[in-house]
Structure 1
Amino acid sequence: MRTVEVFADVLCPFTHAGLRTLIDRRTALGHDEPRLRIRAWPLELINGKPLDPYHIGAEITALRASVRPDLFAGFSVDTFPASSMTAFAVTAAAARTGDAVMVEEVGMALRDALFEQGLDIAQREIVAPIADSFGLKALDAQETLAAVRADWDEGKARGVIGSPHFFTGVGESRFCPVLDISRDDVGNFVIAWKQGTEAFVDSLLG
């Protein structure tokens, strides 16, 4: 099965928009591959602090106003997770199976719970039913940290610069390949599709 490798944080709204766009296009084409092999790029560890829900909210406002008005229906700053590690405990368990389909579906189920259902996926009682639905047992804290750090170290070695960062099946490396992200004169996010996005997505999907 063909895969596309993506280093990403589970709490990153740009990743949610990008991955969902690829999956939507894949579905429209009637394809079932390539699958997205989602790896951990842990922003809270990289930045040394949790993600700011208000900053995330500003990113989401711009995403909804420009490229994906149909996404992020359930987002709330009040339920935004204080940490991604509880979710990474489940994605790391999925990665251990080596099942490309499961890795993608678990990653997207967690993002859907956060961004579309407004659930706090830092809470074990929230992520446990998701893990159970895939027959997974979340890793413990020590195992999760080791798995996340291993992905982070590998990503750094391969030149990952942010979330999401794609590695295609032909060895191409691209940071956030479908979204053009900037700020206006007063600091508001301005987001648009990158030039050549449709051609890139279709080439990725074969």
Structure 2
Amino acid sequence: MRTVEVFADILCPFTHVGLRTLIDRRTERGLTEPRLRIRSWPLELINGSPLDRHHVGAEISALRASVRPDLFAGFSVEAFPETSMTAYALSAAADRAGDPVLVEEVGLALRNALFEEGLDIGRPEVIGPIAARFGLEPLDAETTSAAVQADWDAGRARGVVGSPHFFTEDGADWFCPGLAISRDDVGNFIVAWKAGAEAFVDRVFTSA
């Protein structure tokens, strides 16, 4: 099965847009491949602190206003997780199973719970039903930490610079390929589609 690897933070709204956009384009083309192997790029560890919920809320407001008004319908700043590691315990368990379809579906389910349903995926009682839906058991804290660290190390070795960073099977890679992100004079986020966004999509679905 063909895959595209994505190094991404599980709480990153730009990743949610990128993943959903690629899957939408795949569906439009009547395809089932490539699948997205979503790997950990743990900003909570990289930055040395959890993501700020209000900062993420501002990013989401800009994304809804410009590129994907159909996403983030149920997002709740108040329910934003205090940690990403609880969710990584499930995504890492899916990756261990070695099934690209499962990896993609679990990654999307976690992000949909957070960004579309307003659920706090930092809480075990929220992760539990998602895990049960896929017949998985979240990894323990120590094993999760090792799995996330391994992805982080692998990403650094391959030149990952941020979330999301995509790698296609023909050796090409792009950091946040679809979105141009900046701020205006008073600090508000401005988000737009990059000029090469469709070229990236075409490359994903034509690379061998």
Q: What is the TM-score normalised by the length of structure 2? A: 0.98
Shift of 1:199: 2.3
Q: Residue 58 of structure 1 aligns with which residue? A: 58
Instruction: Provide structure 1 residue ranges, at least 5 long, that are not aligned to the other structure.
Output: none
Q: Residue 2 of structure 1 aligns with which residue? A: 2
Q: Residue 81 of structure 2 aligns with which residue? A: 81
The alignment partner of 1:88 has SS state of helix
Percent identical pairs in the alignment equals 72
Cα displacement string for residues 104-125 of structure 1 (whole angstroms, at most 9, x for unaligned residues):
0000000000000000000001
Q: Residue 157 of structure 1 aligns with which residue? A: 157
Q: Residue 195 of structure 1 aligns with which residue? A: 195
RMSD: 0.6
1:136-147 map, 5 Å: 136-147=136-147
1:94-113 map, 5 Å: 94-113=94-113
* In 2, Cα distance between equivalents of 1:205 and 1:157: 25
Q: Residue 32 of structure 1 aligns with which residue? A: 32
Q: Which amino acid aligns with 2:91?
A: T
* In 2, Cα distance between equivalents of 1:18 and 1:173: 14
Instruction: Provide structure 2 residue ranges, at least 5 long, that are not aligned to the other structure.
Output: none
* In 2, Cα distance between equivalents of 1:171 and 1:84: 29
Shift of 1:200: 1.6
* In 1, Cα distance between equivalents of 2:82 and 2:205: 34
Q: Residue 16 of structure 1 aligns with which residue? A: 16
| Aligned residues between the structures | 206
